Amino acid sequence: MRVLSGIQPTGRFHWGNYFGAIRQYIDLQFEEAAFYFVANWHALGTVREPASLRGWTFDAAIDLLALGLDPQRAVLFVQSEVPQVSELCWILMTGAPMGLLERCHAYKDKKAKGLPADAGVFTYPVLMAADILAYDSDTVPVGEDQVQHIEVCRDLAASFNHHFGEVFKMPKAKLLDVSKKVPGTDGEKMSKSYNNTLEVFEDPKAQRKKRPMEQPKEPDGDHLFQLYSLVATDAEREAMATLYRRGGFGYGEVKKALADAAERFFAEPRAKRAELAADPKRISEILDDGAARARRKAEEVLNRAKRACGLV
Ligand code: ATP
Ligand code: MG
């Protein structure tokens, strides 16, 4: 099984990224092949400040390594280092129906809010399809918000294969039931754009100040309890559920328990991160090596696609 996933350097990683996606990357790196990339082409649409884009790209690589990604097992690279993918993107673009892209939520949401949308947002799912197909990926570990884009990828691949022969493998999304949609501190989906995140590598003291807005009641369905369950042991979770049901239990106490459990849960990656960040040369070497391996695979798939459609 070949695994692939990408993550945008649009800011620092939050619990949604970790529990929805990154945790799967780590578990799946033992498969036949695993490719993970920092999606800086995708991020360029939102991050228009070169120093931030560069910094977050590097931070993303360090974060992934600190959380357990092993560069000996998985190929870790930066998206823009594999230009073959943009060439493949163009090939897929020529067969991508406008109506299909108009239904995709990133673009639709912008339109609905009356915000200006650029061609990058509109064609984002095609680039994502190229990202996936370029590595003959079978499995794409993601959060629920990406399922629609993977459906688009399958549509584009099927239509290309129908016209030109069996060139692309059909990928499938892989979700974790308990954390495919991690709620933010306000109960909505945790997202960098909603200002409701708990960051993985945030200073624990700063994190304790973040105020969730709702009063918890029944544990099932309560977003704070859901967040607590992600970092607590089974016994702690049961004890907390009992406290919830007993009543007279302030959300200040839940917040404190949540912060304590989180500090313990992420202690090891935090220490590892400090070590990695002190050695930027090593990070660059890992990314260079990953990019070279990624290019080799993408080149092979790109040539297959070009031959099939007569681009010689
Ligand atoms: P942005 O707000 O800039 O889109 P993001 O936080 O949504 O950023 P992405 O890079 O778009 O991050 O997504 C990276 C991965 O994290 C994807 O697989 C996505 O499905 C997953 N993910 C993001 N937010 C959540 C969430 N709240 N719960 C579960 N998975 C999530
Ligand atoms: Mg997103």
Kindly list the strands in the beta sheet with 139-141, ordered across the sheet, starting from the edge strand earlier in the chain.
75-78, 33-38, 2-7, 139-141, 172-174
Q: Which residue has the tokens 């892989």?
A: 174
Across the chain, mean pLDDT equals: 94
Catalytic option among 189, 210, 272, 306: 189
Alpha carbon of 306 to ligand 1 centroid (Å) = 32
Q: Is the pLDDT of residue 87 over 80?
A: yes
Would you state the pLDDT for residue 216? 52
Task: For residue 39, give every residue at least 6 positions away whose Cβ sits within 8 Å of its Cβ, in sequence order, or none.
Answer: 6, 7, 8, 9, 79, 131
Torsion angle defined by CA atoms of residues 304, 305, 307 and 311, in that order, rounded to the nearest 10 degrees: -140
**pLDDT tens-digit map of 109-141:** 989 999 889 999 999 999 999 999 999 999 999
Closest-CA residue to 307 (of 88, 130, 135): 88
189 annotated active-site:
yes
Would you state the pLDDT for residue 264? Answer: 96
Whether 193 lines ligand 1, by a CB cut-off of 6 Å, is yes
Q: At what angle do helices 84-93 and 147-164 cross, to 10 degrees?
A: 80
pLDDT (0 to 100) of residue 160: 98
Q: What is the mean pLDDT of residues 49-77?
A: 98
Please give the angle made by the CA atoms of 122, 127 and 129, to the nearest 5 degrees. Answer: 115
Evaluate if residue 210 carries a pLDDT over 80: no
Concerning whether 192 is annotated as a catalytic residue, the answer is yes
C-alpha 308 to ligand 1 mean position (Å): 34
Mutate to test the pocket of ligand 1, among 25, 145, 148, 198 (most ligand atoms within 8 A of CB): 145
For residues 204 and 142, which has the higher predicted lDDT (pLDDT)? 142
Report pLDDT digits (tens) over 36-46: 999 999 999 99
Backbone angles phi, psi at 198, to 5 degrees: -110, 115
pLDDT band at 214 (very low <50, low <70, confident <90, very high): very low
Whole-structure pTM value: 0.92
What is the average per-residue pLDDT within 211-220?
A: 62
Q: Is the CB of 10 within 6 Å of ligand 1?
A: yes
Does the Cβ of 197 fall within 6 Å of ligand 1?
Answer: no
Using the predicted structure, report yes or no on whether residue 213 has a pLDDT greater than 50: no
Tell me whether residue 62 is exposed, middle or buried, using C-beta atoms within 10 angstroms of its C-beta: 0 to 12, 13 to 18, 19 or more.
Answer: buried
Which residue's CA is minimally distant from atom 11 of ligand 1?
8
Q: Which of 174, 180, 192, 297 is catalytic?
A: 192
pLDDT of residue 254: 86
Say how many Å lie between the CA of residue 155 and the centre of ligand 2: 21
Average pLDDT of the residues in 199-207? 85
Residue 241 has pLDDT above 70, yes or no: yes
Ligand 1 centroid – CA 25 distance (Å)? 14
Q: Per-residue b/e over 264-283, b at no fewer than 16 CB within 10 Å?
A: ebbeebbeebeebbeeeeeb
Confidence class of residue 204 from pLDDT cuts 50, 70 and 90?
A: confident
Quick one: what percent of the chain has pLDDT higher than 70?
Answer: 97
Which is more confident, 139 or 216?
Answer: 139
29 lines ligand 1 (CB under 6 A): no
Number of the ligand closest to the Cα of 192: 1
Question: What pLDDT shows up at residue 308?
Answer: 98
Q: Which atom number of ligand 1 is nearest to the Cα of residue 13?
A: 6
**Cα 296 to Cα 290: distance, rounded to the nearest angstrom:** 10
| Segment 157-189, tens digit of pLDDT | 999 999 999 999 999 999 999 999 999 988 999
For ligand 1, whether the C-beta of 230 sits within 6 Å is no
Protein residue closest via CA to atom 26 of ligand 1: 16
Active site residue 108: no
- Scan for tokens 């993107």, then name that residue: 89
Please tell me which residue in 110, 169, 181, 272 is annotated as part of the active site.
Answer: 110
| Dist. CA 245 → ligand 2 center (Å) | 34
Nearest to 299, CA basis, from 83, 42, 89:
83
Phi, psi of 101 (to 5 degrees): -70, -35
Residue 92 vs residue 246, higher pLDDT: 92
pLDDT at residue 205 tops 50: yes
Residue 260 pLDDT > 90 = yes
Distances (CA, A) of 302 to 81, 156, 220, 294: 15, 15, 48, 12
